[in-house]
């Protein structure tokens, strides 16, 4: 994709204080886009390096007036909003927010919506979290605005909640007793490659209104990811014992106890591990093109994240929601010794 691919066009990014949104803004600016961001609190953007280069709309994404202002004269809108906060009734809140956003985008004649959702099996019951993400994607695709729903599993990058959960479980527990579903298959993806697909999705033809699976080149189990993460971090080998019964609620409380990831965030992450999440197609590569030099494998993505050399060289101050856990965790400083737990 050429550096001028977005020249003269405007993109709206929501969820801009979250992990992906905070990295998507500079990626779009680099491609020549005019970027507008929607945030409830503009003061949280004061320390962003890109703050003066972006248009800022302050307000609530549930407000029709705010949405009309944010979506005016927008070519592509990135929907990166969800209620993974541990509060109740998140399914209904996400449903109503997606409906309102889709309607406002249609009324504003937005050219395209792009939504980052969760990779999931095609058949069988889903966790509440994944089922809600699927429903949000369906609502956006039914809005009348061409929509690309990119479906990803674990995103590998410093500051990603799923990555920080993996990082801290590995570094703090040389021996762990975990649920048997840690042997389910997962297709993780590097944050660098997620951003590639998000930016590229803006240029999809207007007739494209569908989901796309996105993933890295390897299919692994969570147990294998723990083992390889330990090796890459210079730790002693980790031992993972599985038990047949450990409910998502108990498992998320355990994760919240041994890692800085809050239980309210850990629960939907743990629930996602109940499913085998592997790409069923790679059609996006035909339409957008694969990442430059190919998708990053697990080892390279983790090495870059540990070194602070993934999408951003360490998160900028304030760029990662505290609930997502930043990479600036002092307990990781000595994580390579093998004695940190």
- 89 pLDDT band, cuts 50/70/90, is confident
Q: Provide the token pair at 234.
A: 């210079």
**pLDDT tens, position by position, 272-281:** 777 789 999 9
Please compute Rg for the chain using Cα positions.
Answer: 19
Task: Report d(CA 195, CA 57) in Å as an integer.
Answer: 23
Report the CATH number of the 10-328 domain: 3.40.50.720
Alpha helices in the chain (DSSP H): 19-30, 64-71, 90-107, 128-141, 161-172, 191-201, 222-232, 248-258, 263-272, 283-287, 298-307
Residue 120 pLDDT greater than 50, yes or no: yes
Residue 201 pLDDT greater than 50, yes or no: yes
Task: Report d(CA 68, CA 101) in Å as an integer.
Answer: 9
pTM score, whole prediction: 0.85
Residue 176 pairs in a beta bridge with 240
Residue 283 pLDDT greater than 50, yes or no: yes
**pLDDT tens, position by position, 290-310:** 999 899 999 999 999 988 755
Per-residue burial over 287-302, b = 16 or more CB atoms within 10 Å of its CB, e = otherwise: ebebbeeebbebebbb
CB 66 within 8 A of CB 40: no
Of 2-6, 105-109, 156-160, minimum mean pLDDT range: 2-6
Reference 212, options 294, 133, 279, 125; nearest CA is: 279
Residue 236 pLDDT greater than 90, yes or no: no
Q: How is the chain split into domains, by residue range? A: 10-328
Reference 286, options 208, 190, 219, 186; nearest CA is: 208
């Amino acid at each position: 994709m050429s550096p001028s691919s977005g020249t003269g066009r405007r993109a709206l990014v929501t969820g801009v204080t979250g992990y992906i949104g905070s990295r998507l803004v500079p990626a779009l600016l680099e491609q020549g886009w005019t970027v507008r961001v929607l945030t409830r609190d503009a003061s949280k953007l004061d320390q962003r390096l890109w703050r003066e280069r972006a248009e800022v709309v302050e307000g609530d994404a549930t407000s029709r007036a705010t949405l009309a202002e944010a979506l005016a004269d927008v070519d592509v809108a990135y929907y990166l909003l969800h209620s993974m906060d541990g509060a109740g009734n998140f399914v209904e809140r996400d449903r109503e927010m997606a409906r309102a956003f889709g309607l406002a985008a249609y009324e504003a004649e937005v050219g395209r919506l792009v939504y980052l959702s969760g990779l999931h099996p095609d058949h069988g019951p889903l966790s509440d979290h994944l089922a809600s993400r699927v429903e949000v994607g369906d609502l956006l695709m039914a809005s009348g605005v061409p929509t690309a729903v990119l479906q990803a599993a674990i995103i590998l990058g410093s500051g990603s909640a799923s990555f920080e959960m993996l990082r801290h479980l590995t570094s703090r527990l040389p021996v762990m007793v975990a649920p048997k579903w840690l042997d389910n298959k997962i297709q993780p993806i590097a944050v660098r490659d997620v951003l590639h697909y998000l930016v590229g999705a803006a240029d999809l033809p207007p007739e494209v209104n569908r989901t796309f699976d996105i993933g890295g080149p390897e299919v692994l189990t969570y147990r294998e990811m723990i083992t390889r993460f330990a090796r890459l971090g210079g730790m002693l080998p980790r031992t993972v014992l599985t038990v047949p019964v450990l409910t998502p609620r108990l498992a998320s409380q355990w994760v919240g106890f041994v890692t800085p990831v809050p239980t309210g965030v850990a629960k939907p992450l743990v629930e996602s591990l109940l499913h085998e999440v592997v790409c069923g197609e790679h059609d996006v590569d035909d339409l957008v093109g694969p990442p430059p030099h190919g998708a990053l494998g697990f080892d390279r993505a983790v090495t870059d994240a540990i070194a602070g050399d993934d999408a951003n060289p360490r998160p900028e101050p304030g760029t990662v929601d505290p609930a997502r856990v930043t990479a600036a965790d002092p307990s990781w400083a000595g994580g390579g010794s093998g004695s940190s737990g």
